[in-house]
Amino acid sequence: MKRNLPVNAARIAEDIAALAEITEPGRPWTRRAFSPLFLEGRAYIEARMKAAGLETRIDAAGNLIGRRTGRKPWLGTIMVGSHSDTVPDGGRFDGIAGVISALEVARALSDQGIELDHDLEIVDFLAEEVSIFGVSCIGSRGMTGQLPEAWLSRVSDGRDLADSIAELGGRPDVLMQQNRPDIAGFLELHIEQGPVLEAEKEDIGIVTAIAGITRLEITIDGRADHAGTTPMDRRADALVAASQLVLDIRNAAAELAKTPGHFAATVGEFRIEPNAANVVPSKVVLLIDGRAEIHADMEAFCRWLDGHIGKLAGAYGVTIKAPNRVSDNLPTPGDAGLLATLEAASTRVGAKHRRMASGAGHDTAWIAKVAPAAMIFVPCREGRSHCPDEWADNDDIALGAAVLFEGVREMDKDSKRERADGTHTG
């Protein structure tokens, strides 16, 4: 379907293709944070920002920012953006589509001679993906005063995070004092990383919430015995009990997923001892990754798990320790006003849309803790992401960029924060 969009789809395609070329040889599409290739990608984005008339800088947390000054800067800053770093072997569109779409909003505003009242900032956040330092969302946490100071001492390849941020142009010496009370609102466009929009033939996902992530470690202790001489009915096999637990977790999560609100649970990490072919397994440690749009669902899952492991231990003659909550992050809802703004923007550009949750984490979750924030999803082929086959059609990205453009314009019209005398009240 041909649409008359306020953004230039060809420019979006050109920039995404150019960034795709900046990858490790034989490893599409790999451009990890803090690497020389990441810096090369950053240089390309900064050059495009400058070509669009934006004033560029690196903030204390190592975020690349392109700024367009508004007519009434006291109203605060409308911020749009995402991240340009990738996971290993996968990330042609993940993050990159959001950065380039944000940049295209700034270019389209200039093309049409539109001045905003608010300042506008296009942001490439540092290290949204899990970095070489073992932590993620470094830039968005750092921008908003939520980066744990201990992280700055984390070491990889002989250098610590503080030095690495400084090498990018950041200021680790003042990072812990950084905050952004001026953010009037934030929007992020991202590929869905799931199959829902494509399957339902929807153009746009309006993200109601970013699911909270709870990680639970469970240890199962059995008894090591000779695999050939110990009768089957006299074993305390930790792996057999763990295997049953994995299946039960899957089934319990599937039932919770039938209720309103996104829910998923995955056992993706598994360690077995002694891990020998001729020894009955004596110990298994597994890690559950749980994702819930509604925190009460996660609490219900944890209560079920607490009760279930006792029954399972008795049935298999093993000992199962109480789950250890390694981490427990609450869901982050999208701002209600911005969700309505994005729905109206989708309607204006003729995009079919639906509300949906994000099961993946994003920089938006950290910005949302200090300012109104929301996300736009665009479809990706077969829901594939974090892999070389990740693909999003440029027409879909351009339509999402048009929604982003209209959303920014509508946010700029909101004068509730301005007194009659022109001073800022927010």
Domain layout of the chain by residue ranges: 9-210+331-413, 212-328
Which of the residues in the chain have pLDDT under 70? 1-2, 415-426
d(CA 44, CA 48): 6
**Residues 81 and 104: beta-carbon distance below 8 Å:** no
Q: pLDDT at position 426, please?
A: 40
Q: Which of 41, 54, 42 minimizes the C-alpha distance to 107?
A: 54
CA distances from 412 to 120, 196, 350 (A): 9, 31, 21
Q: pLDDT at position 28, please?
A: 92
Are β-strands 204-210 and 353-358 bridged in parallel, bridged antiparallel, or unpaired? parallel
CA distances from 61 to 128, 168, 285 (A): 12, 9, 36
Helices 394-413 and 96-111 pack at an angle, to 10 degrees, of: 60
State in Å, rounded, how far the first CA of the chain is from the last one: 42
3-class DSSP state for residue 384? coil
Q: pLDDT at position 374, please?
A: 98
Q: pLDDT at position 372, please?
A: 98
Q: pLDDT at position 393, please?
A: 98
Q: Which two tokens stand for residue 221?
A: 């202790």
Q: pLDDT at position 420, please?
A: 38
d(CA 321, CA 325): 12
Are β-strands 159-160 and 263-273 bridged in parallel, bridged antiparallel, or unpaired? unpaired
Q: Does domain 212-328 have CATH number 3.30.70.360?
A: yes
* Three-point CA angle 226, 227, 232, nearest 5°: 110
pLDDT tens digits for 168-222?
999 999 999 999 999 999 999 999 999 999 999 999 999 999 999 999 999 999 9
Task: Kindly state the percentage of the chain with pLDDT values over 70.
Answer: 97
The length of the chain in residues reads 426
Helices 36-51 and 9-20 pack at an angle, to 10 degrees, of: 160
Q: Does domain 9-210+331-413 have CATH number 3.40.630.10?
A: yes
Q: pLDDT at position 303, please?
A: 97
Helices 36-51 and 96-111 pack at an angle, to 10 degrees, of: 10
Q: pLDDT at position 425, please?
A: 39
**Residues 317 and 239: beta-carbon distance below 8 Å:** no
Q: Which single residue is written with the structure tokens 């990706």?
A: 380
149 CB-near residues (< 8 Å, 6+ apart): 176
Cis peptide before 388 (omega within 30 of 0): no
**Cβ neighbourhood burial of 260 (10 Å; 0-12, 13-18, 19+):** exposed
Backbone angles phi, psi at 349, to 5 degrees: -95, 5
**Cβ neighbourhood burial of 111 (10 Å; 0-12, 13-18, 19+):** middle
